[in-house]
Amino acid sequence: MANPTTNFGWVMPTSTSLVTNLPADFNTFGQGVDTSMAQLKGGTTGQILSKTSATDMAFTWITPNPGDITGVTAGTGISGGGTSGDVTITNSMATAMTTKGDIVPATGSGTFSRLAVGTNGQYLQADSTASTGLKWATASSGAMTLITRATFSSVASTTTSFDSVFSSTYKTYMICIENLFAATAADDLYMQLRYAGPTTQAATYIWTNNNYTMPTGANAVSAGNGTNQWQLANDSGSSAERFSGQYFLTNAETTTRTQMQGIGLNGNAGIAYNFYGYQYTNRTYTGFILSSSSTNISGTVAVYGLATA
């Protein structure tokens, strides 16, 4: 009978082989094993065993491809790494942030730091003195800022006051009379300044008011020199003749003369007003009062700060 063979073609002695045949059979078997295992022999330091395109015991020793990953090293902005097993990489910038809205700006070449989120309404501003070169800043109110807006109905002249509306924050204010009317059509509109809280300045007002009747263009001039109040309009209108106007006041919170100019309109009566005035007594004024010549007034008035000091 023929000698049986293994999966690798090694010829094995048969169970019926005579004693005299065994040496030759084992020699054949040994040579087959040696031939098959020859490809596993040798290799140099650092080489690895690789399967060839042949079958079964076809291997060869090769030098690892330099493109294979042999280790992971954490660089700038990350942490972790390793040379074996499962490797974890952590984004250090992400872990530096702790609060919604945080940012991580550079603090130098290859370095960074957390900048905590600012408060509502703030904006990000460059600042070379800050450690991150950035800071959260509060927006300046240097444009047009509503300070107060009030609607009143049938209010006596002594109570139509707007106190604590002028301060050192602004250089210029706009007093916007959205609508205003008195009980009778013949009432005139006046304004006095206030200081030191509720104290009213009741003297030394200098003013001129040019009144134009539309559409005829008839012109009349009213003026005052050292009176106890400014006259913004004569015949400011009743409930059927509502008055409106915009007045710009400067130097309220300084020790120089407070000045005001503006325009007004009694639309129903068709009278336009150009007003110019100043206060001769230098004070730091903080507010004002609107009043009529005889009766209570109603309306809506707003005060805006226009320019920061």
pLDDT in tens, the chain (309 residues): 466 666 666 777 776 766 666 677 677 777 777 777 776 777 788 888 888 877 777 788 888 776 667 788 888 778 888 887 788 888 888 888 888 988 888 888 888 888 899 888 788 889 889 988 999 887 665 568 899 999 999 888 767 899 999 988 888 999 999 999 887 777 889 999 999 888 999 999 999 999 998 888 889 999 999 999 999 988 887 777 789 999 999 999 877 899 999 999 987 788 999 999 999 999 999 999 999 888 888 999 999 998 766
Q: 75 near 57, Cβ under 8 Å?
A: no
Report the pLDDT value the prediction gives residue 63, as an integer from 0 to 100. Answer: 83
List the domains of the chain with CATH numbers: 1-60 (no CATH), 73-138 (no CATH), 145-308 (2.60.120)
Report the pLDDT value the prediction gives residue 1, as an integer from 0 to 100. Answer: 44
Structure tokens at 102: 């945080």
Which residue stretches of 62-210 are H helix?
Answer: 92-96
Q: 282 near 133, Cβ under 8 Å?
A: no
Q: Closest Cα partner for 225 from 169, 276, 271, 296?
A: 276
Residue 138 DSSP SS3: strand
Helix (H) / strand (E) containing 94:
helix 92-96
Report the pLDDT value the prediction gives residue 18, as an integer from 0 to 100. Answer: 64
- The 8-class DSSP code of residue 7 comes to T
pTM for this prediction: 0.56
